[in-house]
Amino acid sequence: MATTMAASAENEWEVRPGGMLVQKRTPDSESASPFAAAPVPTIRVKVKYESSYYEIYLSSQSTFGELKKLLAERTGLHPEEQKILYKAIKKRAGPEFLDLSG
């Protein structure tokens, strides 16, 4: 019985290259970690172009440039010809992130 406990305890630990003794990780333990990255929320963007309205769903960590590419597919308007206004205050550029702009 003592050898079984020693063997199971041996399987739970590993030595890292720096010599640190740590508990072995399993693929399931990675996702259960409290420090695991939270899922990125999806946001809905309503766009009016001419007399049509479009709803586009994309990651909140997308850029305005990526939004313009998605709009180009729906409207046929080239991204460089598009002007995106948020709350009619400021024109938004391509490299800005949606989530940082509110």
Domain at 91, CATH number:
3.10.20.90
How far is the C-alpha of 9 from the C-alpha of 29, rounded, in Å? Answer: 17
95 domain residue, yes or no:
yes
Q: Is 54 left (phi over 0), alpha (psi -120 to 50) or beta?
A: beta
Please indicate, yes or no, whether residues 60 and 97 belong to a single structural domain of this protein: yes
Task: Give CA 32 to chain center in angstroms.
Answer: 18
pLDDT in tens, 38-92: 677 888 888 888 888 989 898 888 888 888 898 899 888 898 888 877 766 666 6
Other residues' Cβ atoms within 10 Å of the Cβ of residue 102: 6
Q: How many CA atoms lie within 13 A of 99 on its CB side?
A: 9
Range of the domain at 16: 2-31
| Domain-located, residue 71 | yes
